Amino acid sequence: MGGKQVGYSSLLFLLEQSEKLNAEVVAVFENSNSPLSNKEHSLQILADQFNIPQYSDKSHLIQIPNVDFIFSVQYNQILTPEEIEVAKLLAVNLHMAPLPEYRGCNQFSFALIDKAEEFGTTLHVLEPGTDAGAIIFEKRFKIRENEFVTDLYNRTLGFSILLFQEKLEAMLNRDFQLTPQPELFDERGTSFHFRNEIEQLKRIDASWPLEKQKRYFRATFFPAFEPPVLVSEEGEKQLSLDWYNQLK
């Protein structure tokens, strides 16, 4: 279940390794309404190539018999407890952020705004609460100085695909030790962000210190989406990379 390049790459790897791992993919669910989705990474086309039933409505999930595992990889619909329980052995979500620090949405932007030194990607147990399940596996890496959100996203994408590929066999064999997220709250901290928060992040106040203006721009300038705006007494104007580059 999923979409975008990370969902496509994970499904392709699973299909390529299915005989070796003695695993059969019985259904594919795709979300394709993101600006980052494209035909090149279409789960639907991939499912058709391998003659696998595919659905866009998650309500079909409870009608599929004999499901041992569910893998949710950038799937944009929240599963109900009944839907999660379809998986007899394990339901897994791949969250492209470190947990428990960054649950929810816009995690790349908030990490840059927070001046976080480290980021990551996480495989965790899929539970009714958003990104709340116990951690199965994770991969972490340093955030680079003055990194843009596009670069952080692309690096996280690469590490996410690698994490899934490295740990798929262990998950199918249930060869892991779970770490409940609350056990890490004191050490790592925790936060939850909603999708619509990004609109406020994109409003850069012209009265802010220059460092803050540049940091918020790097955290929100993603060409596939609407650009940030500069808010001043003269009004608002959309910002471009040229604006950033001319700042001293």
166 & 209 share domain: no
| Mean pLDDT score across all residues of the chain | 95
Three-state DSSP at 142 gives strand
83 & 43 share domain: yes
Residues in Cβ contact with 214 at an 8 Å cutoff, skipping those fewer than 6 apart: 244, 247
170 pLDDT higher than 70: yes
CATH number of the domain that 173 lies in? Answer: 3.40.50.170
78 & 172 share domain: yes
Q: Tally the domains of the chain.
A: 2
189 & 209 share domain: no
- Rounded-to-integer distance, Cα 189 and Cα 101, Å: 5
45 & 130 share domain: yes
Determine the pLDDT at residue 107: 98
238 & 144 share domain: no
Determine the pLDDT at residue 158: 98
37 pLDDT higher than 70: no
32 pLDDT higher than 70: no
92 & 169 share domain: yes
- Single pTM value for the model: 0.94
140 & 233 share domain: no
In degrees and rounded to multiples of 5, residue 227 shows phi and psi of -75, 165
Structural domain range at position 207: 202-245
Determine the pLDDT at residue 35: 61
pLDDT tens digits, residue range 195-205?
999 999 999 99
- Rounded-to-integer distance, Cα 127 and Cα 131, Å: 8
Structure tokens, 60: 């079909």
Chosen domain end from 156, 172, 193: 193
34 pLDDT higher than 70: no
126 & 44 share domain: yes
Residues in Cβ contact with 248 at an 8 Å cutoff, skipping those fewer than 6 apart: 210
48 & 70 share domain: yes
81 & 179 share domain: yes
